[in-house]
């Protein structure tokens, strides 16, 4: 049995599919596509699937993947890309099916793009961020609450161009920071509304440099 | 190192205003469309824009098979583009209103106001305020007479059309019966009218000539001083009686094999195959059992191949054999056998809703449990044999006991029973019978030798309030008053002694309003409008239901709702729906009602024909000659 990695993007309307719903959508598309995937052996057999980094609702991404298992002997699974795309909702586009080159837990960094229609407001917000000595935001989870200095977390932040900035944050199972934190800073200190933001995950990396 | 090649970013939701609205609401995936199976067309090449409107949430609407059938049929027409619209949940409706963003169809995101036709489905009386809310959200005037030549045509279909008189003044046309052939014909008529620029009034007159099309504005209703209806008179060549449309070749008509597959959890999210239509049982309270007559079934081979196609196109992991009474399909076991040949290898479950106690056999139980063991659900409807005879629910205590014993032996440990209270001729004795039936099932479980050990038994009884419905033998009956229903509920609770038995009720106030609108007439329209304006919507949702607001609206209009719900209809009284013909004759309903009062049974249609009149709707033979023994012989 071997692992297969399915690379896809999740954009446009597909940004509104939650992670839980995505699992069902992907399973159904896999069944339609005919890709010979392996089912778990339990009482209710289901397709073995492991998603890379869960993507928050409303975020778009060009860098998603899901791993499945197969018993098939063949090496080349590219013939299943087209049927899979036909079965998937628009906004989810598979680019490649191939054996993985790294394990999901090796991911340490992700690159994001942030776009605001209000170009001057974004420029001003980035200026405020750059000029501040520190950039404290509160990270809340279901149980915990933690104050974080974005300045120490952010790995890179490019200059705004046409209402767009690109930046990198630590990502992965060990140390993950959501781009929503930067939006929170922009909301609290610059009055930009998070609901007007367009966030796209552009890339993931296995090294921090 | 980076791992992804550059992919162009696609944007389907271009409108930034909509985007920020969606960021503020719960489960925004309900409002975006884009599901697998969605149909997109070039609007410039589809001259007729049709929005199928479901006046309840996305989750409820996307479970509805009728929408999938008609979506498929309409989109197969080149010059029609059928899209979907649902009632947005309260947070979304408020956002749309606040931002003055019109309610839109999911596929094109175009405002419903820009469509040619809005087709609402009337599944439930308490979704009526949602219809007004949906019209309001896109700025379309509520009253038909206030809509101009360019406003969309607002039409309705679905089971409630057999009496949707309370909505008559809001709709341009209502479609009685089955839409598979009728709706395309209506669309062709509208396309023709559009091409030749016919005035709306002329179009409506033309539509009224199509079988099953009811144009309310072409009928005058007059009233007696008593408040009863005096006469309903057709004008402008409209037929005196509108007879429902039926799909003539239901047997050979392939079930829909492509679905729009919802991504945000629908209530029933599975491949549905309609195995038969109508019901041969004739339970006297059941509207569906009368308005979908005559009973017709599809051959096992067609059903099996359609199920295969549907699973291949949708990727569903569960098939539901859908109908009013699936175990009445004469080829059910051969069908299950052929389905099991391929479903098991493909990890597909089979679900069989609406099984009956009396023909639930051992081999059937085994076949169902082969795929998945869920709880067992039965609907005895009444607690005593006498009352079951009154309602013509042809099942006996022995059958209930036998089936439960069989199920327990097969490993089931949970039973759910559906009952009604407030049925005609009901006494406290019958209420006690509900508790006794449940207790007997508990006793059977513990006396079953080879029951599943180590798991406790759960018996749930769900008790609805009886609502008299038009086009049934009980249309003449009054509903129990709310006070009586509450007394009966309290008495039932006092009769249930065992902790294994749990009881749940329906809200009797909701049932009361349901009865008012089920048997209502045109004078209720202002009440519905007032209630909508006063904030009523999602009335069928317990937590949204504003009973006192409704009562204030009745008072405001000077209407006593008890006139509709709690009054016995007089012999020969002109009912608000007397011009709407579902195929079953008035005389038959009257005769069935009289038999009910004497607790006399009427056998199912496949045993002998009771002469209801519905077989005349179809070109082919009589329903009872058609199926069972004959078909079984072939198999």
pLDDT level of residue B361 (50, 70, 90 thresholds)? low
* pLDDT at site A209: 78
User: How far does B271 lie from chain A, in Å, by closest CA?
Assistant: 12
Q: What would the mean pLDDT of B194-213 be, rounded to a whole number?
A: 97
Within 8 A by CB and 6+ apart from B281, the residues are B289, B325, B328, B356, B392, B393, B394, B604
Question: What is the greatest pairwise CA distance in chain A?
Answer: 58
- For residue A206, the chain B residues in CB contact (below 8 A) are 1
Q: What would the mean pLDDT of B98-115 be, rounded to a whole number?
A: 96
- For residue A91, the chain B residues in CB contact (below 8 A) are 10, 12, 34
Task: Calculate what percentage of chain B has a pLDDT beyond 90.
Answer: 77
Q: What would the mean pLDDT of B190-214 be, rounded to a whole number?
A: 97
Which residues of chain B from 291 to 330 reach within 8 Å of chain A, CB to CB? Answer: 312-317
pLDDT level of residue A89 (50, 70, 90 thresholds)? very high
Query: Which residue does chain B place closest to A17, by CA atoms?
Result: B29
Task: Calculate what percentage of chain B has a pLDDT beyond 70.
Answer: 92
Q: At residue B114, does pLDDT exceed 80?
A: yes
Query: A62 vs B24: CB contact, 8 Å cut-off?
Result: no
Please check whether residue B483 touches A, CB under 8 A: no
| Rounded distance between C-alpha atoms, residue B156 and residue A56, angstroms | 40
| Rounded distance between C-alpha atoms, residue B49 and residue B412, angstroms | 50
* pLDDT at site B6: 47
Query: Which residue does chain A place closest to B16, by CA atoms?
Result: A196
Q: At residue A8, does pLDDT exceed 60?
A: yes
* pLDDT at site B634: 31
The closest CB to that of B315, out of A7, A87, A93, belongs to A87
Residue A17's nearest CA partner among A54, A42, A48 is A54
Q: At residue B150, does pLDDT exceed 80?
A: yes
Mean pLDDT of chain B: 91
Confirm if B469 and B440 have CB atoms less than 8 A apart: no
Alpha helices in chain A (DSSP H): 19-33, 81-87, 119-131, 150-153, 180-190
* pLDDT at site B368: 64
Please check whether residue B627 touches A, CB under 8 A: no
- For residue A90, the chain B residues in CB contact (below 8 A) are 10, 12, 34, 38
* pLDDT at site B627: 46
Query: Which residue does chain B place closest to A90, by CA atoms?
Result: B34
Q: What would the mean pLDDT of B282-301 be, rounded to a whole number?
A: 95
Query: B4 vs A28: CB contact, 8 Å cut-off?
Result: no
Confirm if A80 and B26 have CB atoms less than 8 A apart: no
pLDDT level of residue A79 (50, 70, 90 thresholds)? very high
Query: B312 vs A58: CB contact, 8 Å cut-off?
Result: no
Q: What would the mean pLDDT of B27-44 be, rounded to a whole number?
A: 94
Query: B313 vs A32: CB contact, 8 Å cut-off?
Result: yes
Helix (H, G, I), strand (E, B) or coil at B426: coil
Q: At residue B162, does pLDDT exceed 90?
A: yes
- What's the pLDDT tens digit per position in B49-65? 999 999 999 999 999 99
- What's the pLDDT tens digit per position in B479-499? 999 999 999 999 999 999 889
pLDDT level of residue B395 (50, 70, 90 thresholds)? confident
Q: At residue B119, does pLDDT exceed 70?
A: yes
Please report the number of interchain residue pairs, chain A to chain B, with beta-carbon separation below 8 angstroms.
113
Query: Which residue does chain A place closest to B347, by CA atoms?
Result: A45
Q: Report the b/e string of A144-182 with b at 16+ CB within 10 A.
A: eeeebebeebbbebeebeebebbbbbbbbeeeebbbbbb
pTM of the shown model: 0.93
Residue B15 DSSP label: -
pLDDT level of residue B9 (50, 70, 90 thresholds)? low
Confirm if B284 and B473 have CB atoms less than 8 A apart: yes
Please check whether residue B373 touches A, CB under 8 A: no
Task: Calculate what percentage of chain A has a pLDDT beyond 90.
Answer: 78
* pLDDT at site B305: 97
* pLDDT at site B423: 97
Query: B3 vs A31: CB contact, 8 Å cut-off?
Result: no
Query: B263 vs A45: CB contact, 8 Å cut-off?
Result: no
| Rounded distance between C-alpha atoms, residue B165 and residue B159, angstroms | 13
- What's the pLDDT tens digit per position in A104-142? 899 999 999 999 988 999 999 999 999 999 999 988 878
Q: Report the b/e string of B231-242 with b at 16+ CB within 10 A.
A: ebebeeebbeeb
Please check whether residue A45 touches B, CB under 8 A: yes
pLDDT level of residue B357 (50, 70, 90 thresholds)? low
Query: A11 vs B347: CB contact, 8 Å cut-off?
Result: no
CA end-to-end distance (rounded Å), chain A:
34
* pLDDT at site B628: 45
Instruction: Calculate Rg over the CA atoms of chain B.
Output: 25
Distance of alpha carbon A9 from the chain centroid? 9
Could you give the C-alpha distances from B372 to A100, B236, B396, B418, in angstroms and in order? 35, 57, 27, 22
Q: What would the mean pLDDT of B584-597 be, rounded to a whole number?
A: 95
* pLDDT at site B10: 58
Which residues of chain A from 150 to 209 reach within 8 Å of chain B, CB to CB? Answer: 193-196, 198, 200, 202-207
Could you give the C-alpha distances from A90 to A17, A24, B67, B194, B538, in angstroms and in order? 11, 15, 21, 33, 31
The region of weakest confidence among B136-145, B471-480, B613-622, B626-635 is B626-635
- What's the pLDDT tens digit per position in A149-207? 999 999 999 999 988 999 999 999 889 999 999 999 999 999 999 989 999 999 999 99
Q: What would the mean pLDDT of B394-415 be, rounded to a whole number?
A: 85
* pLDDT at site B635: 27
- What's the pLDDT tens digit per position in B596-607? 999 999 999 888
- What's the pLDDT tens digit per position in B529-580? 999 999 999 999 999 999 999 999 999 999 999 999 999 999 889 999 999 9
- What's the pLDDT tens digit per position in B365-388? 666 655 455 577 788 999 999 999
| Rounded distance between C-alpha atoms, residue B357 and residue B505, angstroms | 22
Predicted-assembly ipTM surpassing the 0.90 threshold = yes
| Rounded distance between C-alpha atoms, residue B400 and residue B165, angstroms | 40
- What's the pLDDT tens digit per position in A28-77? 999 999 999 999 987 778 999 999 899 999 999 999 999 999 999 999 99
């Amino acid at each position: 049995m071997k692992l297969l990695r399915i690379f896809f993007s999740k954009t446009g309307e597909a940004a509104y599919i939650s992670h839980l719903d995505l699992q069902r959508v992907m399973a159904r598309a896999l069944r339609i596509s005919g890709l010979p995937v392996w089912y778990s052996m339990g009482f209710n057999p289901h397709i073995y699937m492991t998603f890379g980094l869960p993507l928050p609702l409303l975020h778009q991404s060009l860098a998603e993947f899901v791993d499945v298992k197969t018993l098939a002997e063949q090496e080349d699974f590219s013939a299943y890309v087209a049927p899979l795309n036909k079965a998937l909702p628009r906004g989810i586009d598979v680019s490649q099916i191939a054996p993985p080159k790294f394990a999901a837990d090796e991911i340490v960094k992700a690159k994001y793009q942030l776009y605001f229609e209000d170009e001057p407001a974004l420029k001003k917000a980035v200026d405020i961020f750059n000029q501040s000595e520190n950039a404290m935001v509160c990270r809340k989870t279901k149980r915990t609450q933690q104050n974080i200095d974005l300045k120490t977390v952010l790995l890179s932040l490019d200059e705004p161009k046409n209402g767009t900035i690109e930046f990198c944050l630590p990502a992965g199972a060990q140390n993950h920071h959501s781009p929503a934190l930067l939006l929170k800073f922009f909301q609290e200190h610059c009055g930009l509304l998070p609901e007007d933001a367009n966030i796209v995950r552009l890339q993931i990396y296995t090294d921090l440099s | 190192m980076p791992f992804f090649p550059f992919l162009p970013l696609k944007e389907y939701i271009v409108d930034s205003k909509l985007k920020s609205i969606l960021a503020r609401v719960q489960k925004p995936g309900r409002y975006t469309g884009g599901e697998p199976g969605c149909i997109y067309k070039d609007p410039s090449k589809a001259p007729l824009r049709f929005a199928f409107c479901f006046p309840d949430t996305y989750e409820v609407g996307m479970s509805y098979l009728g929408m999938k059938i008609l979506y498929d049929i309409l989109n197969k027409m080149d010059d029609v583009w059928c899209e979907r619209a649902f009632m947005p949940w309260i947070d979304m409706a408020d956002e749309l209103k606040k931002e003055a963003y019109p309610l839109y169809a999911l596929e094109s995101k175009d405002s419903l106001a820009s469509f040619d036709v809005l087709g609402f489905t009337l599944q439930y009386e308490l979704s009526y305020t949602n219809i007004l809310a949906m019209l309001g959200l896109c700025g379309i005037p509520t009253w038909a007479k206030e809509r101009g030549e360019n406003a969309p045509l607002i039409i309705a279909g679905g089971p409630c059309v057999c009496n949707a008189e309370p909505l008559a003044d809001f709709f341009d046309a209502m479609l009685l019966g089955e839409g598979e052939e009728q709706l395309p014909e209506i669309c062709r008529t509208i396309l023709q009218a559009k091409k030749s620029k016919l005035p709306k009034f002329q179009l409506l007159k033309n539509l009224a000539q199509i079988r099953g099309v009811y144009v309310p504005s072409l009928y005058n209703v007059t009233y007696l001083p008593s408040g009863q209806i005096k006469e309903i008179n057709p004008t402008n060549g409209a037929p005196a009686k509108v007879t429902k449309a039926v799909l003539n070749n239901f047997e050979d008509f392939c079930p829909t094999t492509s679905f729009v597959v919802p991504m945000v959890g629908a209530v029933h999210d599975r491949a549905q195959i309609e195995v038969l239509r109508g019901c041969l049982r004739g339970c006297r309270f059941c509207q569906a059992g009368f308005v979908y007559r005559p009973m017709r079934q599809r051959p096992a081979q067609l059903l099996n191949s359609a199920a295969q196609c549907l699973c291949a196109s949708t990727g569903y992991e569960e098939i539901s054999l859908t109908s009013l009474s699936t175990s009445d399909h004469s080829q059910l076991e051969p069908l299950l056998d052929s389905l099991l040949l391929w479903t098991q290898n493909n990890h597909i479950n089979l679900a069989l809703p609406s099984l009956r106690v009396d023909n639930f056999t051992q081999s059937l139980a085994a076949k169902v449990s082969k795929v998945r063991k869920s709880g067992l659900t039965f609907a005895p409807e009444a607690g005593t044999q006498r009352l079951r005879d009154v309602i013509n629910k042809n099942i006996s205590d022995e059958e209930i006991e036998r089936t439960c014993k069989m199920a327990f032996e097969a490993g089931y440990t949970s039973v759910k029973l559906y009952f009604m209270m407030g049925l005609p001729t009901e006494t406290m004795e019958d209420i006690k019978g509900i508790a006794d039936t449940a207790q007997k099932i508990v006793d059977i479980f513990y006396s079953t030798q080879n029951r599943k050990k180590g798991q406790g038994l759960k018996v749930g009884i769900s008790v609805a309030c009886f609502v008299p419905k038009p086009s049934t033998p009980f249309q003449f009956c009054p509903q129990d008053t709310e006070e009586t229903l509450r007394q009966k509920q309290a008495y039932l609770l006092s009769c249930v002694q065992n902790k294994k038995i749990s009881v749940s009720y329906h809200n009797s106030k909701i049932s009361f309003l349901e009865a008012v609108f089920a048997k209502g007439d045109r004078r209720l329209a202002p009440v519905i409008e007032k209630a909508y304006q006063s904030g009523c919507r999602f009335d069928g949702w317990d937590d949204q239901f504003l009973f006192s607001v409704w009562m204030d609206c009745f008072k405001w209009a000077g209407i006593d709702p008890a006139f509709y719900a709690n009054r016995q209809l007089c012999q020969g009284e002109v009912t608000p729906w007397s011009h709407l013909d579902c195929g079953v004759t008035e005389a038959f309903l009257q005769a069935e009602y009289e038999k009910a009062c004497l607790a006399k049974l009427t056998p199912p249609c496949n045993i002998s024909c009771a002469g209801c009149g519905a077989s005349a709707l179809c070109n082919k033979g009589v329903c009872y000659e058609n199926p069972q023994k004959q078909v079984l012989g072939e198999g």
